């Protein structure tokens, strides 16, 4: 996050042990998990159960997050984010502070997970993420500050969950919080109105960032930010190229729901996984009978021409 | 509570003021007139000394606003966030004051968290809908030169943020030190800033950093404020001097 060592008021630090003022639950603090723009998250135990506790500098911001977490919690299977467990106050250095406790999700930040498990996972995780966003959007929110650091892959079930709801904004308002790298306005592709398409834009940028090596991504900083640069990367990347249509559509705000984008990505993902073994068979066949192989090759050629035409169409008309 | 107009001055600087009245006193004066003062320190390495850091914090505190110290690359994002947070804070204070009148001395802290969540939603909504007037006050003294392209980017970027709000937003951009006065109005009150605006061109070359006097002059840009006599005379002079500033004049007087 930003190097804000002087923001006033400072984000308070939790004492080793504390009790909520209203609900009287006692927490033992084990360690700090991380610090974001709005607050700090700690790992604690409460009644023998691990809980993540978030405190922030501004009580109002913390309460807004509670508001969102509560609203997406109808229906336990939604799994958008962590479950909310407690909202309460405590006193730190004589000042009242609001905190909330949530389910502790054990897992890995999405970017670290991809680094460890390989880029094959990028598309799978994107499809999952879009499903989570779809639920969030249905409740009238936009996530806003979508970036790998705010997406977690759970250790046990490899499920994608959104964490840090500080940027979540009511649809139609101005996005509360964003990170430039994933921000639509920063890429000169629109404004900061909290729209479904804003999140989908960030998601598409995130997919590109996750699929390419850090050096390539770093070079974006020296360029003037424009989606043309992203399209260039997609064209050169074997991992991203098959997904160019949904990615381009997301860059240009052509989807009205996350579900639509998810369906199209899933279709491509399925085709790719099914197509891979077929391709090998195909090559074996080709060795035996050159005639059929020739047809296959010309078929591929025609297909790639069509794909090229499709890309050009997008580049031209959007 | 009706939809309010929020007024802010955002100072972007990289060091200490060195002339004229104390910027902390100027910020206190602004606050007294219903204007919140936020400060962003822009640094290249860790060039901002302890003194500069303290000044930044003190200005924000006296001005009832927030402050942050960032690298030029983070400027755009910080401007938006600081402004929004300061807005929420101002509205929170007003709401809290009204609640105190209803609930007695205790105010919002005495409401149970579940109820407060609803208040938070209301505060957020008021922030979104209210009118917002921001004067960006950019330090253009010598050491800021290399950072001005980032500042320029941030100005345009901030304009996009303001434009994305539901409520009415206006911004003006001033640089200090100015050529004749303590500040020059670079962009008069506007609802949208075009990217083409060059803040780095045609700057007053000077080693002085009159942060305090510049804040006082920036206060004068808000139409609801009555100018002190000395200042109104100075602006009256300007008025007759250059007519291009007509749009500015409308708002000042």
Tell me: the pLDDT tens digits for B168-225? Answer: 999 999 999 998 889 999 999 999 887 767 777 777 767 789 999 999 999 999 976 6
pLDDT of residue A292 exceeding 50: no
Give A-chain residues touching B66 at CB under 8 angstroms: 7-8
Q: What is the pLDDT of residue B246?
A: 37
Considering CB atoms only, which of A3, A7, A192 is closest to B71? A3
In chain B, which residues have their Cβ closer than 8 Å to the Cβ of A6?
A: 41, 53, 56-57, 67-69
For residue A63, give the nearest of B28, B134, B92 by alpha carbon: B92
> Nearest by CB to B166, which of A8, A66, A172?
A172
Q: What is the SS3 assignment for A78-133? A: HCCCCCEEEEEEEEECCEEEEEEEEECCCEEEHHHHHHHHCCCHHHHHHHHHHHHH
Instruction: Closest CB to A6: pick one of B68, B71, B116.
Output: B68
Q: Residues near A79 by Cβ (< 8 Å), separated by ≥ 6?
A: A132, A159, A161
Distance between CA atoms of residues B155 and B150, nearest Å:
9
CA atoms of B41 and B57, how far apart (whole Å): 10
Residue A283 has pLDDT above 80, yes or no: no
Is residue B78 within 8 angstroms of chain A, CB to CB? Answer: yes
Distance CA A260, CA A266 (A): 10
Say if B59 is an interface residue toward chain A (CB within 8 Å): no
- The alpha carbon torsion through B190, B193, B196, B198 (nearest 10 deg) reads 70
pLDDT at A297: 55
Interface confidence: ipTM more than 0.85: no
**DSSP-based helix, strand, coil % in chain A, nearest 5:** 50, 20, 30
Chain A: nearest CA to B63, how far in angstroms?
Answer: 12
pLDDT digit string, tens, across residues B116-173: 999 999 888 999 999 999 999 999 988 888 899 899 989 999 999 999 999 999 999 9
Report all structural domains of chain B as residue ranges with CATH numbers, in order of start.
5-252 (3.40.50.410)
Give how far B182 is from chain A: nearest CA, Å.
Answer: 27
Residue contact A173–B166, C-beta within 8 A: yes
pLDDT for position B93: 86
**What's the pLDDT tens digit per position in A302-317?**
566 666 666 666 665 5
Task: Measure Cα distances from B123 to A196, A302, B108, B131 in Å.
Answer: 23, 58, 12, 14
CB A159 within 8 A of CB A125: no
Cα B89–chain centre separation: 14
Position A76 scores a pLDDT of 61
Nearest residue on chain B to A87, alpha-carbon basis: B113
Residue A245 has pLDDT above 90, yes or no: yes
Tell which residue, A8, A1, A23, has the closest CA to residue A99.
A23
Q: Average pLDDT for residues B8-24, to the nearest whole number?
A: 93
Rounded CA separation A276/A238 (Å):
14
Residue-level pLDDT at B239: 40
B113 CB neighbours in chain A (<8 A) are 22, 63, 66, 87-89, 98
Hey, where are the domains in chain A?
A: 17-103, 107-266, 280-317
Distance CA B127, CA A204 (A): 30
The pLDDT confidence band at residue A301, using thresholds 50, 70 and 90, is: low
B4 confidence band (pLDDT: 50, 70, 90): confident
Contact A191 B160 (CB under 8 A): yes
Rounded CA-CA distance A178/A192 in Å is: 9
Say which CATH topology domain A17-103 has. Answer: Phosphorylase Kinase; domain 1 (3.30.200)
Closest approach of chain A CAs to the CA of B113, in angstroms? 6
Average pLDDT over residues A70-90: 86
Mean of per-residue pLDDT scores for chain A: 87
Q: Averaged over A185-214, what is the pLDDT?
A: 96
Share of chain A above pLDDT 90, in %: 69
Which pLDDT score, from 0 to 100, does residue A205 have? 97
Does the pLDDT of residue B245 top 50, yes or no?
A: no
Identify residues of A whose CB sits under 8 angstroms from chain B CBs: 2-8, 22, 37, 58-61, 63-64, 66-67, 70, 87-89, 96, 98, 170, 172-180, 183, 185-186, 191-193, 221
| A119-158: pLDDT as tens digits | 999 999 999 999 999 999 999 999 999 999 999 999 999 9
Pick from B160, B162, B194 the residue to mutate for testing the A interface (most A CBs within 10 Å). Answer: B160
Predicted confidence at residue B143, as pLDDT, reads 84
Contact (CB<8Å) B66/A7: yes
B53 near B78, Cβ under 8 Å? no
Give bridge partners of residue A154 from the DSSP assignment: A107
pLDDT for B211: 95
Fold of A107-266: Transferase(Phosphotransferase); domain 1 (1.10.510)
pLDDT at B230: 58
Active site residues of A: 145
């Amino acid at each position: 996050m930003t190097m804000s060592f002087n923001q006033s008021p400072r984000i308070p630090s939790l004492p080793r042990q504390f009790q909520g003022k209203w609900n009287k639950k006692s927490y033992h603090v084990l360690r700090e998990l991380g610090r974001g723009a709005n607050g700090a998250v700690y790992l604690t135990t409460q009644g023998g159960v691990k809980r993540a506790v978030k405190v922030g500098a501004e009580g109002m911001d913390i309460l807004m997050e509670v508001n969102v977490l509560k609203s997406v919690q109808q229906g336990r299977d939604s799994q958008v984010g962590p479950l909310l467990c407690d909202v309460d106050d405590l006193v730190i250095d004589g000042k009242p502070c609001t905190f909330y406790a949530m389910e502790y999700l054990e897992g890995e930040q999405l970017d670290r997970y991809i680094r460890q498990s390989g880029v094959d996972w990028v598309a799978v995780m994107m499809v999952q993420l879009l499903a989570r966003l779809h639920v969030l959007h249905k409740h009238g929110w936009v996530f806003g500050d979508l970036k790998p650091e705010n997406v977690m892959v759970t250790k046990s079930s490899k499920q994608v969950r959104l964490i840090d709801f500080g940027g979540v904004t009511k649809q139609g308002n101005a996005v509360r919080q964003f990170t430039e790298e994933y921000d639509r306005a920063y890429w000169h592709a629109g404004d900061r109105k909290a729209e479904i398409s804003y999140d989908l834009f960030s998601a598409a940028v995130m997919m590109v960032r996750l699929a390419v090596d850090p050096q390539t991504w770093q070079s974006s900083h020296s360029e003037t930010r424009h989606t043309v640069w992203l399209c260039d990367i997609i064209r050169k990347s074997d991992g991203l190229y098959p997904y160019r249509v949904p990615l381009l559509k997301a860059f240009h705000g052509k989807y009205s729901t996350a579900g639509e984008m998810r369906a199209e990505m899933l279709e491509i993902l399925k085709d790719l996984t099914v197509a891979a073994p077929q391709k090998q068979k195909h090559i074996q066949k080709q060795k035996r009978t050159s005639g059929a192989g020739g047809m296959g090759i010309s078929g591929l050629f025609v297909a790639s021409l069509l794909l090229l035409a499709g890309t050009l169409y997008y580049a031209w008309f959007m | 509570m009706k939809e309010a107009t929020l007024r802010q001055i955002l100072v972007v600087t990289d060091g200490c003021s060195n002339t004229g009245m104390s910027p902390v006193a100027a910020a206190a004066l602004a606050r007294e007139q219903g204007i919140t003062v936020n400060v962003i320190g822009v640094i290249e390495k860790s060039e901002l000394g302890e003194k500069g850091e303290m000044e930044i914090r003190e200005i924000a505190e006296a001005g009832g606003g927030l402050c942050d110290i960032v690298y030029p690359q983070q400027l755009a994002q910080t401007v938006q966030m600081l402004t929004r947070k300061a807005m929420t804070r101002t509205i929170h204070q007003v709401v809290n004051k009204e609640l105190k009148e209803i609930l007695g001395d205790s105010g919002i802290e005495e409401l149970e968290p579940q109820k407060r969540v609803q208040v938070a939603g209301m505060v957020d909504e008021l922030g979104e809908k209210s009118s917002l007037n921001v004067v960006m006050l950019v330090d253009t003294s010598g050491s800021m030169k290399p950072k001005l392209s980032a500042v320029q980017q941030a100005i345009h970027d901030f304009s996009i943020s303001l434009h994305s709000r539901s409520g009415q937003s206006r911004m003006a951009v001033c640089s200090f030190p100015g050529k004749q006065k303590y500040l020059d109005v670079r962009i008069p009150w506007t609802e949208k800033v075009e990217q083409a605006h060059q803040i780095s061109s045609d700057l007053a070359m000077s080693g002085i950093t009159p942060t305090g006097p510049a804040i006082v002059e920036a206060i004068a840009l808000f139409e609801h404020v009555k100018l002190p006599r000395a200042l109104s005379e100075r602006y009256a002079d300007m008025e007759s001097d250059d007519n291009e500033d007509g749009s500015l004049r409308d708002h000042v007087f």
